[in-house]
């Protein structure tokens, strides 16, 4: 699904952030990336989507065996990569339903059938315990932190990408909201797609079957293990990896 080889990347101010990162993700897998603040976790997700605030200086990113380093963000998204934002932007004047319909049309080869789209959207809202009037609200405007994150998961289920990158989707959420997010990931996950979860909190992993946990420090993945690695970090922190 995704192969990253010896990736180096810097911010536009010239600061090098990713320093020889390697990662391989197969279909049907959930990978978790953890690390201290400033280690490069969010940068990695932005670089995969070719955010213009960052520049790849060397290395390759392959998605389904195709080099995507130089593709535009919208082209990468159309190939099936989705990213939920740590801090979703508010867009006044744009209803959630219109936003999702436009997004779905932009990534589909055929024009979306409106009836099927609405039916699917309402089914996804039921699964996430979201009230029906939610889709008539302006995108993230006046939303609580939990509502913004639920909206990100609703987008995930509705757009149904091949690879989902969830950048601290659990940040600032209470226990109940974390369960909703975990449930959404489980509803999305199947043998033909993959998930990258970037998190500081092992709570979101309790209801998920995680395949690999990676520790990212100073722009490189320095340790990979199973879900027990996340529990170890939660108990002991990153001190042993910062030496």
Query: Residue 129, class by beta-carbon neighbours within 10 Å (0-12 exposed, 13-18 middle, 19+ buried)?
Result: exposed
pLDDT computed for residue 146 by the predictor: 80
Domains of the chain and any CATH numbers: 2-241 (3.40.50.300)
CB 220 within 8 A of CB 44: no
Q: What sign for the dihedral angle of Cα 36, 230, 173, 126?
A: positive
Alpha carbon distance 222, 35 (integer Å): 10
Q: How far is CA 180 from CA 137, 154, 169, 210, in A?
A: 20, 11, 11, 17
Which neighbouring-strand residues pair with 23?
4
CB 60 within 8 A of CB 7: yes
DSSP string, 76-112: HHHTTEEEE-SSPPPEEEEEHHHHHHHHHHHH-SSPP
Q: How far is CA 43 from the centre of its chain?
A: 12
CB 195 within 8 A of CB 168: no
pLDDT computed for residue 172 by the predictor: 66
In which residue ranges of the chain is pLDDT below 50?
Answer: none
Phi, psi (deg, nearest 5) at residue 241: -95, -5
CB 230 within 8 A of CB 201: no
Whether the model pTM is above 0.85:
yes
């Amino acid at each position: 699904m995704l192969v990253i080889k010896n990736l180096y990347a810097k911010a536009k101010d010239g600061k090098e952030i990713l320093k020889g990162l390697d990662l391989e993700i197969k279909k049907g897998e959930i990978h978790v990336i953890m690390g201290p603040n400033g280690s490069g976790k969010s940068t990695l997700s932005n670089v995969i989507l070719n955010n213009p605030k960052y520049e790849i200086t060397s290395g390759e990113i392959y998605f389904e065996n195709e080099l995507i380093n130089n593709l535009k963000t919208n082209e990468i998204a159309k190939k099936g990569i989705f990213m939920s934002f740590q801090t979703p932007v508010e867009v006044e004047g744009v209803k959630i339903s219109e936003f999702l319909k436009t997004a779905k049309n932009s990534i589909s080869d055929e024009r979306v059938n409106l009836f099927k789209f609405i039916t699917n959207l309402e089914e996804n809202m039921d699964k996430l315990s979201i009230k029906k009037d939610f889709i008539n609200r302006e995108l993230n405007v006046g939303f609580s932190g939990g509502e913004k994150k639920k909206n990100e998961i609703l987008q995930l289920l509705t757009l149904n990408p091949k690879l989902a990158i969830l950048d601290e989707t659990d940040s600032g959420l209470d226990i109940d909201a974390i369960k909703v997010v975990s449930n959404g990931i489980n509803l999305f996950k199947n043998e033909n797609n993959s998930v990258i979860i970037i998190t500081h909190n092992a709570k979101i992993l309790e209801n998920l079957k995680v395949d690999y946990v990676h520790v990212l420090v100073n722009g490189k993945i320095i340790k990979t293990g199973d879900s027990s690695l996340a529990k170890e970090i939660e108990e002991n922190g990153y001190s042993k990896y910062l030496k």
